[in-house]
Amino acid sequence: MIENLNLLTVDLEEWFVVEILSDRFSREEWYQLPSTVEKNTVRLLELFRSHQVLATWFVLGWVAEKYPGLIREIAQEGHEIACHSYSHNRVNSMTPDMFRKDTELSIEMITKAVGRRPVGYRAPSWSIDTTTPWAFEILAELGFEYDSSIFPIKHDIYGIPSGPRKMFKMNLENGRTLYEIPASTHRISGKNIPVAGGGFLRHSPYWYSRSIIRKLNKQQQPAVVYIHPWEIDPEPPRIESLSIMQKYRTYGSTSVFYYKLERLLNDFEFTTVSNYLYLSKKKPSIGFHVE
């Protein structure tokens, strides 16, 4: 039943593109840095295969260009390939023209790798916010059917605290439509608390994550689980000059996260974003404007 389905998503990127390290390495240096994306992706694929589960992989265009065979392997196993930008630049740091060109380049690289255009998009670092309502218009113009970039929380580098917490359909000013799949939250004392991905999932005790996902499912809401390949690497490349908080955000719990993910796959049912949308498209749509 769709009420028991959750969404399994992977942001397919290298360890060195994360926001904390964005000012450490230039784009030119990326090619000289040690890569971990292949080995960690293969490990994820093996885990998903053993649990007979399919995920939506939001692929960085730069990775698709460098490792097209890896992206083809993911697609050939039945997973959905979606877009995560080309260069991992924050959307709210770009002009509309820059954003369009970056997204078009990513579409090109992904299409070359798998032979079809992606229909889903997720912004780097959840960076579509109240300053970038034009991004939705551009995504719809480029043929995307859904976006998963809104995080309805208050965070130091992203978030739309007043954003909707459930899947909805945008009726855009250009006459197009776009489904939005927000990151999962639950409410405590009137505030939205993140739960199902990134450090929020990695650092939390398993019983807590399981409990909140069960509550979301009882509310007929899917949990949007999002992970990164580098998060399951027990020995990731380390940068010693990071602050204690930066090290915690980047390396904390990576040695045990694989096993937590394995428990999630045992305890819950998952599907891709596109399949979930297909199963639920008859739900009534609502209008939404970012102000």
Of the listed ranges 45-49, 63-67, 241-245, the least confidently predicted one is 241-245
pLDDT band at 288 (very low <50, low <70, confident <90, very high): very low
When comparing pLDDT for 32 and 241, which is higher?
32
Judged by average pLDDT, the poorest of 84-88, 162-166, 268-272, 279-283 is: 279-283
Question: Does the structure show a pLDDT above 90 at 100?
Answer: yes
Mean of all residue pLDDT scores within the chain? 89
pLDDT at 49 over 50: yes
* The predicted structure's pLDDT at residue 265: 97
Whether the per-residue pLDDT at 150 is higher than 50: the answer is yes
Dmax over CA atoms of the chain, in Å, equals 51
- Looking at the predicted structure, is the pLDDT value of residue 35 above 90? yes
Residues 4-17, mean pLDDT to the nearest whole number: 94
Q: Is the pLDDT of residue 5 over 70?
A: yes
pLDDT bin (cut points 50, 70, 90) of residue 237 is confident
31, HSE (Cβ side, Cα atoms, 13 Å): 4
Name, in order, each residue with C-beta under 8 angstroms of 148's C-beta and a sequence gap of 6 or more.
Answer: 9, 58, 120, 121, 122, 180, 181, 182, 183, 224, 273
Q: What is the CATH number of domain 2-280?
A: 3.20.20.370
CA distance 94 to 10: 24
* pLDDT of 129 higher than 50: yes
CA atoms within a 13 Å half-sphere pointing along the CA-CB vector of 138: 20
pTM of the model: 0.92
**pLDDT value at position 282?**
46
Q: Report residue 173's pLDDT band, with 50, 70 and 90 as the boundaries.
A: confident
- Spell out the domain ranges in the chain: 2-280
Is the CB of residue 7 less than 8 Å from the CB of residue 222? yes
